[in-house]
Structure 1
Amino acid sequence: MSVKRLAALSGCIGLLAVTTACGSSDSTGPVAGAPNVVIKVGSANPYSTLDPAQAYDNGAWTVYYNVYQGLMSYRPGSNVPQEDAAQSCGYTDASDETYKCVLRPNMTFSNGDPLNAAAVKYSIDRVIKINDPNGPVAILSTSIKSVETQGENTVVFHLKYPDATMPARLCSGAASIIDPKTIPADKEAATDDTGVIGSGRYKIDSVAFTGSGADKLPSEVKLSLNPNYKGSATDPRNSGIDLRYYADQTGTKKALDDHEVDAVIADLNASDVVQMQQNQQLGTGLQVDSGPGGGIHMLALNTASGVFTKTAVRRAVAELIDRDTIVDKAFDHTVTAAYTIVPSGITNATGTFSVYGRQPMNAAAVREQLKKAGVSLPVPFTFAFYSKGDQAIQRESTLIKQQLEADGLFKVTLHDYVTYAKLSNAILKKPTFDAYSLTWYSDYLDIDDYINPLVGLHNTVFNGYAAPAALISKGLAHTNREDGKSDYAEIQKDVATDVPLVPLWESSQFAATQADVSGVPLTMDSSGIQRWWMIGKNTTS
């Protein structure tokens, strides 16, 4: 719970379930020049928390990118970090071990508190100090040795080793700048705390919740433009966002059909996307847009304990998986088959899993390999996943079970945890799982953000595997990222050989909007950032 909330709690306790902290939702009036229109956005991904030291989920980071600000950010359609809260940033030594940023002058948070170098240091240090094992700490702690302030507006990052990805790391939600007065330095905020303050395009006016205890989740978030915003974002095309959460993708589609929401970005069933595309008519009814997804969906296999400690068993999974059938039967070709843990659009990605063939191996041949490795058949294991009610994920899980159980090779028990939070609490905090599926989206647009979190020393999939640290360090040191091609190719080859992860498919983004909504395609690029301020409504409709 934040210091601000704690001080005001006695006069605010009756509002806890339906609004923000006392006084935090007062509007200061519309931002000059912004259209007086509120965009209603539907989502099936409620945020887990508004505390950047905790959250590592898409639902939270989507809100972060609109409420908080970083020193750096990605402009629409670009994968090159650019200054945002900073007016200049750069390495100050030839070894790329010191990185300095100078803030824009006279920066403030949405409540008027000063956004200075001390606030930046506080925000970065806090994530590293709290060190939440399920949070995004590794994005910062693996690189940053210390943070220094020089005067009011200059921040210097001293790095542990040469790291050419520092600008990109500062684009991530982990580097969100918070008002030091709102969240304590050494304690995470309560998950239902809504009193956080940022300096992004929007400020949070109110949050409504549903459920209680561990099942308490946000159901609606109302945001309005931050009148104190200074940064690189384009001019807003709306005056506010009404973000509404639904139980699943079926709910978001119904909300579109019933005109409860103006737009749904990403949270749609594959079958609904295909149907809407087939029925689409320009200028009337629901409109569908698509763009690069940047996500890799894969199986994580536990290499530290259980049946997958044997490499031969892990390789058998890679050999039996039929990606084309999954893409076709589960996702209606709204995704594409993946043969590495790095999306095809990221520099230095290589399709190393093609070594197992683009088509599944004959089950009889796999049986012989397993017998030679001394593996007793069938191999029993539990396959965990979280579907959020997504019918495609449920179909995929059934197909994987069928493919792996061919010729009696495996005996698969499916366990749908419904939400990521439930899966994380059940198996990741004490990693005793056999296998589970996940979709990894980049924290920043660099190959390192697929390599380091997935197969680095600070492995965030908790499957007990780490690629050679020396190779990862070599890759990080290349200022020209294309120069790291051979290092990253070797890492991806090692992953294909050792099979701690099995890449299945690469995502695409799909959004559906009402006919009078504009600007959504401008937000759909490989960063995966939903830039809500770019969404507007056509006044001539």
Structure 2
Amino acid sequence: MSAAKRLGALGSVGLLAMTAACGSSASGGVAGVPKTTMNMGTVSAYTSLDPAGAYDAGSWMVFYNVYQGLLTYLPGSTVPTPDAAQSCNFVGTDYMTYHCSLIKGLTFSNGDPLDAAAVKYSIDRVLTIGSETLPDKQPADNGSGVSVLLSTLKSVEANGSTDVTFHLKTADATFPDRLASGVGEIVDPKAYSATRVLPGVSGAVVGSGVYKIDSVQTKKDDTGAEVPTSVKLSLNPNYKGAYSKTKPTNSGVTLSYYDSPADIRAALDSGKIDLNANSDLASKDIVSLEGAQQLGKGLQVVEGAGSNTRMMVLNTKLAPFDNLAVRQAIAKLIDRDAIAATYQHTVTPLYSVIPQGIGDQTTPFEASPYDVKPLKAAVVRQSLKGVSLPISFNLTYAANSVGGNAEAAQIKKTLEASGLFKVNLTSVATLGKMIPLWAGHKLPASLTGWQPDYPDPDDYVSPFLGVNNTFGNGYAPAKIMKDLTPLSLKQPNRADDSTANTFATIQKQFAYDAAYIPLWQNKQYIVTQSDVTGVPLTLDLAAIMRFWMIGKS
């Protein structure tokens, strides 16, 4: 599978200017909606406009606004609610059959009917394109790996025009969350091939979301590949769903893509954009702007809860981290407050693989065996009896990760100050360079971020498990994989005590094994011009930027 979506979108450098347009012209507007176009900027450019061909943050940001799924997350909620569906529910008590009834009379933006057959087509298409069984034996999803989110799905059944039934291979209480993610977007069968994704980055999009795409501007990067520079959206007058009763506060959005956080800051300072559409400004800019802002004057900083995490990954199959005591020693010595300081405290120290706000988070990395203060180094040394000191290892990270250099340097400083470790820092240019190293099980230790697909604790657990897990670190605890995770997937009420108890046990085991050492949890920061409204309504743990809620006073 690809880690691109979960680990953050890859940046681009060295772009050569060239533009191209596609799509139809903007509509005349929707009655009662302010004729206001919002100009937004981000460094997270999409990689594809096709839900079957993208698994990255930039693409999903566009998807959530131009496509529609059976389910969505309302502002502030981590529980899926019907969107294109009128209702959805599990059938029976084994949580292996899921049924949805669609809203009657739904259409795509071009007027084609959106019915049960279209839903089945869309989901089947993701599985077909994500397979390697096509005639030419080539993965048709461009290697995105997004079909992994449907790994528990056995088949889809369409009954009549409005009834869809999903038959699962195993119990999966998170299946509604998966349908509410970017993989569950519904496409027009008449406009999308059953076996191929839309070509390039400017293919004609037909969705049923709040917006439709009017045009895309592109240019060539230094490899000659076409990349987007902006996308223009206007309201879809045919939209009908969860947000039908919420009147949009703008008539359209122009989303521009920039090469760096510094470029975003410059565009804000000049007034070229109304806001950044993602938390992609440097920490120093956030801090300086928070200090300078005055209510109603100048640039304003809006802060919201985040669900992204940062962690150190230790390979349980490679020396020196095939030794539990060594992994635990690292976890005992890590100074999360010092790491947060390198980000000027725009992040929050994290003591579990599951972040605050997602399920019932516990803090096992503050409990035994990690509560070793104040004689930390001396106590840790006792736990390493028989191990040759100092322990030398390579710590790999992506050089282009915001704050990554300072973070890695701080970790090296802390560990080496104990006299127990010698840390050799190794950087690669981008996250993309780390992915094959994880896949090849070649990294003893690495630093990475984690961006969830949906706000459920399972999405911070299951992808980390197994010999060939996302990070290739061989972590495969039998108790969690054979007992606890299957049990959690049979618990549909994700907020009740039984689910909480299951995940408390899982978090404790993760902490004891120390194959993943959580470092911090992000906060979302959106910087806006003084007249921008509605941003707080769309900053929540679901991490969906709901463009239609943003307007101007």
Q: Alpha carbons of 1:112 and 1:275: their partners in 2 closer, same or farther (altered >3 Å)?
A: same
Indicate how the Cα distance of structure 1 residues 529 and 98 shifts in structure 2: closer, same or farther if over 3 A, else same. same
Query: Does 1:255 pair with 2:267?
Result: yes
Shift of 1:136: 2.9
* Residue 342, structure 1, aligned to residue 351, structure 2: no
**Counterpart pick for 1:526 among 533, 538, 541:** 541
Q: What's the counterpart of residue 138 of structure 2? A: none
Can you list the C-alpha shifts for 1:257-285, whole angstroms capped at 9, x where unaligned?
A: 11111011411111211111111111110
Give the distance between the partners of 2:513 and 2:317, measured in 1 at CA. 13
Query: Structure 2 matches for 1:464-483, cutoff 5 A?
Result: 464-467=474-477, 468-469=480-481, 470-481=483-494, 482=496, 483=498
1:10 maps to what in 2?
Answer: none
Query: How far is the alpha carbon of 1:532 from its aligned partner?
Result: 0.7
Give, in angstroms, the shift of residue 96 of structure 1. Answer: 2.2
Query: Are 2:161 and 1:144 aligned?
Result: no
Aligned: 1:281 with 2:294: yes
Matched with 1:199 is 208
Structure 1 residues 242 and 145, CA gap change in structure 2 (3 angstroms): same
User: What is the DSSP-based 3-state SS (H/G/I as helix, E as strand, rest coil) of the residue aligned with 1:405?
Assistant: helix
Q: Secondary structure at the match of 1:348?
A: coil
Question: In 2, are the aligned partners of 1:320 and 1:361 still within 8 Å (CA)?
Answer: no
Q: Is the 8 A contact 2:89 2:100 kept in 1?
A: yes
Report whether the alignment pairs 1:302 with 2:311. Answer: no
For 1:241 and 1:360, the matched residues in 2 are separated by 54
CA shift, 1:358, in A, is: 8.0
Matching residue within 162, 165, 169 for 1:160: 169
Match of 1:450 among 460, 480, 490: 460
Residue in structure 2 matched with residue 385 of structure 1 by the alignment: 398
State the partner residue of 2:14. Answer: none
| Distance in structure 2 (CA, Å) of the matches to 1:360 and 1:225 | 59
Are residues 514 and 444 of structure 1, via their aligned partners in 2, closer, same or farther at CA, if it must alter by over 3 Å? same
Q: Is the partner of 1:205 in helix, strand or coil?
A: strand
2:344 matches 1:332:
yes
> What is the deviation of 1:181?
3.6
Q: How many angstroms does 1:465 deviate by?
A: 1.9
Contact 2:234-2:253 at 8 Å conserved across structures: yes
Change (3 A) 1:226 1:34: same
Which residue is 1:508 aligned to?
523
Query: Structure 1 stretches of 5 or more lacking a match?
Result: 1-15
Distance, in Å, in 2 between the alignment partners of 1:207 and 1:351 is 45
Task: Give 1:350 shift.
Answer: 1.3
**Structure 1 position 414 matched with structure 2 position 426:** yes
Checking the alignment, whether the CA contact within 8 Å between 1:137 and 1:174 is kept in structure 2 is yes
SS of corresponding position for 1:309: coil
Structure with greater helix percent: 1
Change (3 A) 1:262 1:217: same
| Larger deviation, residues 454-463 vs 77-86 | 454-463
2-side partners of 1:401 and 1:302: how far apart? 18
Q: Describe the superposition over 1:467-525 as per-residue Cα deviations: whole angstroms up to 9, x where unpaired.
A: 43221010111122222222212211221122221100111111110011111111111
Cα separation, 2, equivalents of 1:39 and 1:73: 23
> By how many angstroms is 1:40 displaced?
0.7
Aligned AA (2:293): Q
- Opposite residue 552 of structure 2, the aligned amino acid is K
Q: What does 1:258-269 align with in structure 2 at a 5 Å threshold? A: 258-264=270-276, 265-269=278-282
Aligned equivalents of 1:296, 1:361: Cα separation in 2: 28
Aligned to 2:253: 241
Give CA deviations for 1:387-420 in whole Å, capped at 9, x if unaligned.
35x2x333212212222333261232231424x3
Asked if 1 retains the 8 angstrom alpha-carbon contact of 2:347 and 2:520, the reply is yes
Equivalent position SS for 2:180: coil
Q: Within 2, Cα distance between the matches of 1:179 and 1:358?
A: 58
Amino acid at match of 1:46: A
Which of the residues 467, 471, 486 maps onto 2:501?
486
Worse-matched range after superposition: 359-368 or 43-52: 359-368
Q: SS of the counterpart of 1:170?
A: helix
Distance 1:26 1:203 in 2: 11
Q: Distance in 2 between matches of 1:438 and 1:112?
A: 44
Counterpart contact for 2:21–2:218, Cα < 8 Å: no
Q: SS state of the match for residue 461, structure 1?
A: coil
C-alpha offsets along residues 307-362 of structure 1, whole Å, 9 cap, x if unaligned?
4333333223212211011112x111111110101111122321111231386974
The match for 2:19 is 18
Q: What's the secondary structure of 2:264's corresponding residue?
A: helix
TM-score after normalising by structure 2: 0.86
Q: CA deviation at 1:237?
A: 0.9
Do structure 1's residue 402 and structure 2's residue 403 form an aligned pair?
no
SS at match of 1:298: strand
Return the alpha-carbon distance in structure 1 between the equivalents of residues 20 and 163 of structure 2. Answer: 36
Q: Which deviates further from its counterpart, 456-465 or 82-91?
A: 456-465
What CA distance in whole angstroms lies between the structure 1 residues aligned with 2:95 and 2:291? 51
SS of residue in 2 equivalent to 1:110: coil
Identity %: 43
Equivalent in the alignment of 1:357:
371
Give the CA deviation at 1:456: 5.9
The answer as to 2:185 corresponding to 1:185 is no
Rounded Cα–Cα distance in structure 1 between residues aligned with 2:374 and 2:534: 42
Decide whether the 8 Å contact of 1:340 with 1:352 is kept in 2.
yes
Deviation string, structure 1 residues 417-471 (Cα, Å, up to 9, x no partner): 24x34443x5345442333322223322221121222336873333322343221
Number of residue pairs aligned between Structure 1 and Structure 2: 514
The C-alpha deviation readout for 1:146-204, integer Å capped at 9, x for no partner, is 11111122110112233222222211111111223444333444453432322111122
1:98 offset after TM fit, Å? 1.1
AA aligned opposite 1:280 = Q
